[in-house]
């Protein structure tokens, strides 16, 4: 059974621990971190243990804006974006997998925010992730 990992507040995420949990998906995580630290993206990961969810989560920010959240699951990682009503039409115009667009239209909102969640298991999904990151960074 796949479950969210990093539940112990006393054990912060380390590269070795992440590699053990994610297995072959770890190379996609490493590529994500390497790529998005470059000047084009300039994203900063901020790991923190959150008591409300009882897990370590990574808030990925650009300057002071939260771009997406990253959580670690057994065998893969998830990225979660949240878009305001007015920004959803732009997501629908992106050249990304249709399943992500369907999330905007069908998922339950969090307040006024629409979630788009990507389960990243291999490198082929990083391009859609990059498109969502560029879009989210460009929002005012």
What's this model's pTM, rounded to 2 decimal places? 0.93
Low-confidence ranges of the chain (pLDDT < 50): 1
Enter the DSSP assignment of 17: H
pLDDT digits (tens, 9 = 90+) for 99-122: 999 999 887 888 889 999 999 999
Report the alpha-carbon angle 101-106-112, nearest 5.
Answer: 95
Find the helix packing angle between 26-36 and 15-22, rounded to 10°.
130
* pLDDT, position 111: 85
């Amino acid at each position: 059974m796949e479950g969210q990992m990093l539940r112990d507040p006393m054990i912060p995420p380390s590269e070795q621990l992440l590699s053990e949990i994610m297995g072959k998906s770890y190379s996609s995580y490493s590529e994500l971190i390497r790529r998005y630290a470059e000047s084009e993206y300039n994203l900063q990961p901020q790991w923190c243990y959150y008591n409300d969810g009882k897990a370590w989560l990574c808030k990925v920010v650009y300057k002071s804006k939260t771009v997406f959240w990253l959580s670690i699951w057994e065998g893969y990682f998830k990225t979660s974006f949240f878009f305001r009503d007015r920004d959803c039409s732009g997501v629908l115009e992106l050249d990304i997998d249709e399943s992500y667009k369907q999330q905007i239209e069908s998922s339950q909102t969090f307040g006024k925010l629409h979630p788009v969640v990507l389960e990243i298991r291999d490198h082929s999904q990083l391009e859609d992730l990059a498109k969502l990151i560029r879009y989210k960074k460009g929002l005012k």
